[in-house]
Structure 1
């Protein structure tokens, strides 16, 4: 009679305490990550959005605005939904585009053209446009230059350079094909007609003033 064969011995898998501890730590970290994500998703802020194009200086109406709820970075300044009534009736300090958040700095209670001022549109060719962006409120100097064959504007010779102080109200985008940018500049009512004459004669150049307005 053949001897009985003992069944194969199955040894218990050895569990290492270090591996178990690492597994528990990863599970805990994953759970913490999910918790942070849930907190971030839940921590939303109701803010005001722009739903229609609003030009610079235009009065903002309730129909121009909407509301949404987003997870807002603390560094982003946006008008809260509960403050929407405070911006309705004010003017756009910059051009507002649909789909963007409304920031407090983008609205103003003041008219961009003050009493006693006139608005002079100036067309600038690509070579005359400064690399620095033209923004509303920026101080500029309108300079009269001599142009060969230009119509006499009644100004003195180049020996006495003529300048007019102004402030940018709006700058358009570059026109297709020509690249010309139209800049609306507010000047005093007494200087407005003179600046317009310089523009008509092609004898005007726009110079950006220093940051302190000098």
Structure 2
């Protein structure tokens, strides 16, 4: 009698093992379109146009430059201007600013500085003169002032001064008596042409004073004897 083997059969599987389910694509949320207002669009266009116009105006202003004459090195009062003292530059010039144009540079060469000129500044027509600061019939007398003799008020070209004779103690007076002061203080009139800065160490300031040709030698003698003092006149002679 044949024995029938009982098989315990596993359920047959056909195909690959089952995989995890993958979620499908998510639909994006609907965004409702905003209504565009014609007024807002018009305002935006106007602002863009205005900004462009402003930039254009700025570019035109920057491009509108004027060639002018500049000072390239220190020039003292009364000094004759040369080509080495001056240069040229193109700047955006305000109409209220008076400056010598670059085309007129040759017209100022050979003239004198009416004021002290500093490097980097624009040259103004009022800063130069064709006249000598020492006029015909005048002489220039250099006067050295000690620190205690220098006025607190700044000495500027054109300022009127008095040259006062102050005899040294023990020196002979006008009538020959050594200790007898002059009955009347003698003075001479003058005009400041230039004043130097205080010398290092001594503090002495040298002032160039223009005075009449007749008074120049006398003022120089007073200065040599240490008997001269400088006194400022009031503005406009008042």
TM-score, normalised by the number of residues in structure 1 = 0.81
Structure 1 CA distance for aligned equivalents of residues 182 and 41 of structure 2? 88
Match of 2:205 in 1: 181
Deviation at 1:187, TM superposition (A): 0.7
- Cα displacement string for residues 74-128 of structure 1 (whole angstroms, at most 9, x for unaligned residues): 2322111122222112112223333222111111111111222211111223343
- Cα displacement string for residues 24-81 of structure 1 (whole angstroms, at most 9, x for unaligned residues): 5553443343223212211111111123433322222233222111111223221111
Greater shift, 9-18 or 177-186, is seen at 9-18
Q: In the alignment, does 2:171 pair up with 1:171?
A: no
Greater shift, 181-190 or 203-212, is seen at 203-212
Structure 2 CA distance for aligned equivalents of residues 46 and 173 of structure 1? 34
Q: In the alignment, does 2:185 pair up with 1:161?
A: yes
Structure 1 residues 114-153: aligned runs within 5 Å: 114-149=135-170, 151-152=171-172
Q: Secondary structure at the match of 1:212?
A: helix
Deviation at 1:19, TM superposition (A): 6.0
Change (3 A) 1:63 1:13: same
* RMSD, aligned CA: 2.9
Q: Secondary structure at the match of 1:33?
A: helix
Greater shift, 190-199 or 9-18, is seen at 9-18
Unaligned residue ranges in structure 2 (runs of 5+) = 1-25
Structure 2 CA distance for aligned equivalents of residues 51 and 108 of structure 1? 19
Structure 1 CA distance for aligned equivalents of residues 167 and 226 of structure 2? 9
Give the aligned length: 209
Unaligned residue ranges in structure 1 (runs of 5+) = none
Match of 2:8 in 1: none
* Contact 1:45–1:71 (Cα < 8 Å) also in 2: yes
Change (3 A) 1:12 1:167: same
Deviation at 1:166, TM superposition (A): 0.6
- Cα displacement string for residues 178-206 of structure 1 (whole angstroms, at most 9, x for unaligned residues): 33221100111111122122222333222
Q: Which has the larger radius of gyration?
A: 2
* Contact 2:173–2:182 (Cα < 8 Å) also in 1: no
Change (3 A) 1:126 1:16: farther
TM-score, normalised by the number of residues in structure 2 = 0.74
* Contact 1:122–1:185 (Cα < 8 Å) also in 2: yes
